[in-house]
């Protein structure tokens, strides 16, 4: 168990809908990262927050947004969903802003857009 909690584990929704994925980092970790894992794109970095502030942005679509709350949990909001958004979304945490050690990954939220 990595200590990173993601909910829900599975999510099935329809095109055009909006969903929210939740992540609770390991106790004491200030950084939260979101990654998308899909069959065609592989594992892609979406966005990082550190202590409530956005610190880095990757290949995140404009239809997607995220935030980190004062209690350090994070939410990833996906709107106007398309079939191609079906993927496994991972959250990871680390204690630092820039990491040279390691990330702790949650077990992911499997999103299916029908």
Question: In the complex, which residues of this chain contact other proteins (CB under 8 A)?
Answer: 2, 4, 33, 35, 42-45, 48, 55-56, 58, 90, 92, 97-100, 102-103, 105-108
Q: How far is the CB of 36 from other proteins (least distance, A)?
A: 11
Q: How far is the CB of 102 from other proteins (least distance, A)?
A: 4
Question: Which residue in this structure is represented by tokens 């599975």?
Answer: 10
Q: How far is the CB of 85 from other proteins (least distance, A)?
A: 19
Residue placing its CB nearer to other proteins in the complex, 4 or 66: 4
Q: How far is the CB of 100 from other proteins (least distance, A)?
A: 6
Residue placing its CB nearer to other proteins in the complex, 75 or 97: 97
Residue placing its CB nearer to other proteins in the complex, 67 or 107: 107
Q: Is 29 left (phi over 0), alpha (psi -120 to 50) or beta?
A: beta
Residue placing its CB nearer to other proteins in the complex, 32 or 78: 32
Mapping DSSP onto H, E and C, the string for the chain reads CCCCEEECCEEEECCCCCEEEEEECCCCCCEEEEEEEECCCEEEEEEEEECCEEEEECCCCCCEEEEECCCCCEEEEECCCCHHHCEEEEEEEECCCCCCCCCEECCCEEEEEC
């Amino acid at each position: 168990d990595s200590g990173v909690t993601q909910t829900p584990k599975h999510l099935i929704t329809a095109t055009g809908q909006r969903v929210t994925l939740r992540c609770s980092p390991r106790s004491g970790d200030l950084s939260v990262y979101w990654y998308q894992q899909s069959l065609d794109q592989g594992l892609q970095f979406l966005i990082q927050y550190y202590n409530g502030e956005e610190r880095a942005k990757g290949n995140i679509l404009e239809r997607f947004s995220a935030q980190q709350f004062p209690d350090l949990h994070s939410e990833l909001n996906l709107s106007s969903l398309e079939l191609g958004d079906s993927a496994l979304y991972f959250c990871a945490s680390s204690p630092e802003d820039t990491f040279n050690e390691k990330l702790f990954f949650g077990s992911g939220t499997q999103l299916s857009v029908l």
